[in-house]
Amino acid sequence: MTIKQLSIFIENKGGTLIKVLDLLSKANIQIIASTIADTKDYGIYRVLCNNPSQAYIILKEAGINVQLADVIALSIDDEPGRAASAIKTLSDDGISILYMYSFLWKGKGVLVFRTDPAEKAKETIMIKKLSFLTEADFA
Amino acid sequence: MCIFAKDNITNIINMAQKHIPDSSCQYFNEKEETLTREQIEALQLERLQATVKHCMNSPFYKARFEEAGIKPEDIKTLDDIRKIPFTTKKDLRDTYPFGMASTSLKDCIRLHSSSGTTGNPTVILHTQNDIDEWANQVARNLWMVGLRPDDVFQNSSGYGMFTGGLGFQYGAERVGMLTIPAAAGNSLRQIKFMTDFGTTALHAVPSYVTRLKEVMDQAGVDPKTDTKLRVLAIGAEPHSEEQRRRIEEMMGVKAYNSFGMSEMCGPGVGFECPEQNGLHFWEDYYIVEIVDPETLEPVADGEIGELVLTTLCREAMPLLRYRTRDLTRVLGRSCPCGRNHVRIDRMKGRSDDMIVLRGVNIFPIQIEKILMQFPELANNYLITLTTDEDNDNMTVEVELEELFTDDFQRLLKLTSDVKRALKDEILLTPHVKLVPKGSLPVSEGKAVRVVDKRTVYQ
């Protein structure tokens, strides 16, 4: 149910992002969606791509601090109120969101997030029959 | 008990210090302070010979002299001091705790010790005479800058093992001042003491004065109108002339630079006179040498080298040619104030990698040791020292070994855990910054671990 996301630790200064993007570009990796969260000193660059396992190896070999994180990607209709109802379903089961971002994919909205606790979210999604995407959808 | 033979000169000095001169006198120990160069050198030779002889009671020095093939009788002139091997901090550690003592412990009444975080601690022993002579040096300094028995002296040094506490306490009491052992920290209470007790003189590390002024501003206290403060003694951390002038201006007082080190006794070794043109190092108590830290040969007056001190009046633990690792230079050997004791420039840096920050001595290895306890962290780190609005600060950048989480909370927790562990080790809280692996500069050979951007070293 979960998909692999690249989480990349980058310094909060010029030139660090382009280094990562260059490496991905040279390996012909396609970025589906990405987001940067930052503090004063550093940031975490989170990337969904078409081949996370290969991208991970490439970045790792280049000495970049990278982690493969398991995230959930829910697919929702591109209509007002759909994100609210999906998140409420999780929230009602006592699941909180550690971070989240969203994008449009083939006419559908996609909510990408990590939860705490991680396992319980999967249960809720199964039981409440929420629609989710798998890695194969992006490959 | 006095180890030194009495003759015309030493009679003047030994144990004469209980006497407090008339307030109109500008010298606390007039005869000693106004000795001519010739008299100083004659006294030094006599005391050096007595000290060397006395050192033969120390197992360490006895062995050291035998190894070097010299005898106390070989010291016939002041220049003969160069025959004596240097003493280092490592020697103090290696002889921990009492191997350096030249008297029996029965004759000692006080022990001060460094924290010993980089190996064995160093232990400094004192006899009653040592404590008295130490107090006399501090009293001489405070008198020199115009403090008298009717002054109120507040000491914001840490007490306990840190010699800035008891050292200034005894010295200020020796002058006859009302002395307030306020100790370090609690700025609001410090300010209340100052206004309520009519403090006229304060001893503090320079960065703490700046901090105190900030709190005064917040509390609506103007040091110029709301306190009677007129003299500051500042020391125990490197500071620039500009920093001193700023402190003087913001507090509306004169600020005098103080030099001391626990190996010699503590504060008191050197102090600025009202001319504020170098620190007078008391040559009736010490032989001052400045040597090239590489060749260990003496450098000419005016040239920067490592300060080497020999104690001349210490009983419990005399030290011969002690390498302080502080870099400085001789400014002159005469002064309009009438004192011919050598004038030494403010400290310019260190010949080893020790960091002096806000009065605390820190070796990079201490920081390394802590960082290496965290498996999440890589081996490469960089310590940067900066002056931000007159406060000296430390930033520790350290590379992340593995990105073990992409959860910010856990990264922030790691940062705060590292910070707390460092604080327990070095007693200061540095700013800790996690950086990606490979982002810190790696130099050829020995890595650069410390970048000092403090204004004092610019």
Task: Please tell me which of the candidates A63, A67, A98 has its beta carbon nearest to residue B403.
Answer: A67
Burial class (CB in 10 A: 0-12, 13-18, 19+), B448: exposed
**Of residues B328, B338, B343, the one with CA closest to residue B276:** B343
Residue in B158, B141, B412, B107 with CA at minimum distance from that of residue B262: B158
CATH class of B360-457: alpha beta
Q: Which domain holds residue A77?
A: 71-138
**At how many degrees (to 10) do helices B37-55 and B59-68 cross?**
100
ipTM of the complex: 0.81
pLDDT > 90 in chain B, percent: 69
| Shortest distance, CA B209 to any CA of chain A (angstroms) | 29
- Smallest Cβ–Cβ distance between A63 and the set B405, B433, B437 belongs to B437
Q: How confident is the model at residue B385 (pLDDT cuts 50, 70, 90)?
A: very high
Give per-residue pLDDT as tens, A96-112.
Answer: 999 999 999 999 999 99
pLDDT tens column, B447-457: 568 888 887 65
Confidence of residue B115 (pLDDT cuts 50, 70, 90): low
CATH number of A66's domain = 3.30.2130.10
Chain A residues close to B400, C-beta within 8 Å: 9, 65
Q: Residue B406 and residue A114: Cβ atoms within 8 Å?
A: yes
Confidence class for position B236, pLDDT limits 50, 70, 90: confident
CB of A35 within 8 Å of any CB in chain B? no
One domain, residues A60 and A103 = no
A8/A57 same-domain check = yes
Number of H helices, E strands in chain B: 13, 21
CA distances in angstroms from B287 to B249, B305, B311, B349, B391, listed in the order given: 35, 15, 7, 21, 34
Q: Does A42 touch chain B (CB under 8 A)?
A: yes
Residue B13: the pLDDT is 46
**Residue B359 — very low, low, confident or very high, per pLDDT cuts 50/70/90?**
confident
Domain count, chain A: 2
| Averaged pLDDT, A89-100 | 93
Query: Same domain, yes or no, for A62 and A83?
Result: no
Same domain, A47 and A90: no
Instruction: Select the more confidently predicted residue: B389 or B26.
Output: B26
Tell me the per-residue pLDDT of B2-37, one tens digit each, with 9 for 90 and over.
445 444 334 334 444 578 999 999 999 999 999 999
Q: Does A44 touch chain B (CB under 8 A)?
A: yes
Structure tokens at B380: 């490469």
- Whole-angstrom Cα distance, residue B400 to residue B378? 5
Give the nearest chain B residue to A66 (CA atoms): B403
| Sequence-distant (≥ 6) Cβ neighbours of residue B447 within 8 angstroms | B380
Domain boundaries, chain B: 8-351, 360-457
- Considering the domain architecture, whether residues A53 and A90 belong to the same structural domain is answered as no
Which residues in chain B touch residue A65, judged by CB atoms under 8 angstroms apart?
400, 402-403, 436-437
CA distance A27 to chain B (A): 21
pLDDT digits (tens, 9 = 90+) for B280-300: 999 999 999 999 999 999 999
Residue at which a domain ends, from A19, A39, A70 = A70
pLDDT the model gives residue B63 = 97
Which tokens hold the place of A42?
A: 């550093």
Contact A32, A50 (CB under 8 A): yes
Q: Report chain B residues whose CB lies below 8 A from the CB of A39.
A: 408, 412
Q: Indicate the residue among A17, A47, A70 that finishes a domain.
A: A70
Chain A residues whose CB is inside 8 A of the B404 CB are: 67
Please name which of B286, B309, B305, B288 lies closest in space to residue B296, comparing C-alpha atoms.
B305
The H or E element spanning position A47 is strand A42-49
The answer on A113 and A55 residing in a single domain is no
Q: Is the CB of A63 inside 8 Å of chain B's CB atoms?
A: yes
Q: Which DSSP category does A59 fall into?
A: H
Contact state of B436 with A65 under an 8 Å Cβ cutoff: yes
The two beta strands, B391-400 and B377-388, are: antiparallel
User: What radius of gyration, in Å, describes the C-alpha atoms of chain A?
Assistant: 16
Which of these CATH numbers, 3.40.50.300, 3.10.270.10, 3.40.50.12780, 1.25.40.10, describes B8-351? 3.40.50.12780
Contact flag B437-A44 (C-beta cutoff 8 Å): no
pLDDT at residue B447, rounded to an integer: 59
- Distance, in angstroms, between B324 CA and closest chain A CA? 37
As a whole number of angstroms, the distance between CA A45 and CA B416 comes to 22
Q: Which pLDDT does position A93 carry in this prediction?
A: 92
Please give the pLDDT value at position B262: 92
B15's CB contacts (< 8 A; 6+ apart) are B2, B129, B132
- Residue B117 pLDDT: 53
Q: What is the 3-state secondary structure of A3-40?
A: EEEEEEEEECCCCHHHHHHHHHHHCCCCEEEEEEEECC
Closest by Cα among B388, B364, B383, B376 to B414: B376
Residue in A46, A63, A64 nearest the CB of B406:
A46
CB contact burial B178-205 (16+ within 10 A = b; e otherwise)? bbbbbbbeebeebbebbbeeebbbbbbb
Q: Looking at CA atoms only, how far is residue B449 from chain A in angstroms?
A: 19
Q: What is the mean pLDDT of chain B?
A: 90
- Residue B456: DSSP 8-state: G
> Considering only CA atoms, which of A38, A33, A47, A34 is closest in space to residue A11?
A38
CA nearest to B397 within chain A:
A41
Whether A45 and A84 share a structural domain: no
Indicate whether B378 pLDDT > 90: no
Q: What pLDDT, in 10s, does the model give residues B309-331?
A: 999 999 999 999 999 999 999 99
How many contacts (CB atoms, under 8 Å) link A and B? 50
Phi-psi region of B236 (alpha: psi -120 to 50; beta: other; left: phi over 0): left
Q: Indicate whether A43 and A76 sit together in one domain.
A: no
Over range A53-81, report the average pLDDT.
94
Cβ–Cβ contact A115 with B under 8 A: no
- Same domain? For A34 and A15 the reply is yes
Is A4 part of the contact surface with chain B (CB cutoff 8 Å)? no
Confidence of residue B240 (pLDDT cuts 50, 70, 90): confident
Residue B103 confidence (pLDDT): 96
Say yes or no: A96 and A134 in one domain: yes
Q: End of a domain among A70, A88, A119?
A: A70
Interface of B with A (CB under 8 A): 400, 402-408, 411-412, 433-439
Encode pLDDT of A115-138 as tens digits.
988 889 999 999 999 999 999 998
